[in-house]
Amino acid sequence: MATEAVTATPVQVSALNSRHHKTALGVFAVIVVAHWAEHIAQAIQIWVLGWPVPEARGVLGLPFPWLVKSEWMHYGYALVMLIGLIILRKGFTGSSRTWWNAALIIQVWHHLEHLLLLSQALSGSNLLGRPVPTSIIQLLVPRVELHLFYNTLVTIPMVIAMIRHRRPSPSERAVMACSCVRPALVRG
C-alpha cells in the first residue's frame, strides 16, 4: 500500500492568501491561542495553585498526561506553527508583513529548539549528558518558563500582524489580495 504525502498546490496556497485568507487566519489563530492557553494554564497551575511541575500539565495534559511528555507532540505543534506562518505570509503586506516576519523568525528558532529536543528523545542521547532532553536556552531557563516565553514571543507579533492586516493603510489596502480588511464603522 503506497502512501502519498499531503501537499498544498500553488493554487491552494494562493487561495489561502486571497479569498480564504481571513478564514485560514482565523483557524490558525485558534490553534495558536489554544496552545498558548495550555502554557498559561500550566503556569497558573505551578505559580498560582502551587502544583509541582510534574503535576502541572495544562488542561489537555490532565486527562492525557502522555501529551506533556511527548516530544513528537511538541515538535508537531512547532512544525504546524512554522508551516502556518510560512504559508499564510504571502497574504500580508506592509507593516503587517513586518510583524508576521518577526513571528516567523522567532518560530524558526522555537522549531529548531523542538527539533533538538525530539532528536535527543529519539536517540536517547541528551545534550551535555542531561537526564532529559534539553534545548539550548533550557540550559539557562527552566522548560516550563522557556516555552511559555517562546509561545508568548511568537503570539504577540502574530496578533499585531493580524490587527494591522485588518486595518491597513490606503497604500497597503491597494496591494492586498484578500478580503481581510475590517469594514469601516458606519456613523449615524
Dihedral (C-alpha) 167, 165, 97, 103: value to the nearest 10 degrees? 120
Within a domain: residue 81? yes
Residue at 184 is within a domain:
no
Q: What is the pLDDT of residue 3?
A: 52
Query: Number of folded domains in the chain?
Result: 1
Task: Give 8's pLDDT tier (boundaries 50, 70, 90).
Answer: low
What mean pLDDT comes out for the span 155-171? 94
Task: Please report the pLDDT score of residue 186 as a whole number.
Answer: 47
18: containing domain: 14-175
Per-residue pLDDT at 174 exceeds 70: yes
92 within domain boundaries: yes
- Residue 96 inside a domain? The answer is yes
Per-residue DSSP letter, 49: S
Dihedral (C-alpha) 28, 89, 41, 48: value to the nearest 10 degrees? -150
Q: Is the pLDDT of residue 164 over 60?
A: yes
Dig out the grid coordinates for 138 from the structure: 533550557
Whether residue 8 is contained in a domain is answered as no
Q: Which residue do the cell numbers 487566519 mark?
A: 25
- In-domain check, residue 183: no
Provide the pLDDT confidence category of residue 179 given band limits of 50, 70 and 90: confident
Q: Are 168 and 181 in contact (CB under 8 A)?
A: yes
Query: Are the beta carbons of 100 and 155 closer than 8 angstroms?
Result: no
